[in-house]
Amino acid sequence: MNVRDLYKRLLSYYGPQNWWPAETPFEVVVGAILTQNTAWRNVEKAIENLKREDILDPASILETPGDVLKELIRPAGFYNQKAERLKRVCQLIVECGGLEELFSRSLNELRSTLLSVNGIGPETADAIILYAANKPTFVVDRYTHRVFTRLGIWKGGYDYEGIKKLVETEISPDVSTYQEFHALLDEHAKRICRKTPLCESCPFKDVCPSVSF
């Protein structure tokens, strides 16, 4: 099983996932920060709070007092850190002249700009670039590592840049393919290749070297 075969089989088994669940690119940015270390259902509650208060835009978030912002995003957890990260990203967006201006930068320039923001790591930066800016960078996460390792596609520990490079070498850059592949890997890890895997129901049980039942 190679990376490309895995993508094709995941797509035919689960169908298109059509990520990211958001109405605007800025909502993707906010979701990418809020989803750090928490389940998506908690992020949804926090985003609903921001929408209800009508502050889901960079200028409004910057104007909102820190303690109010923290309370609104509390459902997403780690709300002190996340409020500060949101403010820092909003500051960057405003200083750049808006999200469109920021996203008009080349992929590499945009990535290094996002990574220079305290609290924005490669996974968050790549999620913003892929799903908000629609530029072809692959997003790696712990689910990617779990599935790749069990299927024998990746050997070794969690190496974000190494896994990203492997995917980008085997699948040439394409926004919708990378968007789908990341979403499909998460779906598979959540539904079947869980921490305790449900191998009997797995579409890869015929080829997986880690199959157990």
Smallest gap from Cβ 91 to ligand SF4, in A, equals 42
Largest pairwise CA distance in the chain:
56
Give whichever of 82 and 188 is closer to ligand SF4, judged by the CB atom. 188
Q: What residues contact residue 23 under an 8 Å CB cut-off, 6+ apart?
A: none
Smallest gap from Cβ 188 to ligand SF4, in A, equals 7
Smallest gap from Cβ 174 to ligand SF4, in A, equals 24
Strand, helix or coil at 144?
helix
H helical segments located in the chain? 3-14, 25-34, 40-52, 58-63, 66-73, 79-96, 99-103, 107-115, 122-127, 142-150, 160-170, 175-191
Give whichever of 68 and 198 is closer to ligand SF4, judged by the CB atom. 198
Binding site for ligand SF4 (CB under 6 A): 150-151, 192-193, 197-199, 202, 204-205, 208, 210-211
Amino acid identity at 25: P
Q: Which residues of 80-105 are buried (b: 16+ CB within 10 A; e: fewer)?
A: eebbebbbbbbebbeebeebeebbeb
Smallest gap from Cβ 42 to ligand SF4, in A, equals 26
Give whichever of 51 and 191 is closer to ligand SF4, judged by the CB atom. 191
Give whichever of 83 and 208 is closer to ligand SF4, judged by the CB atom. 208
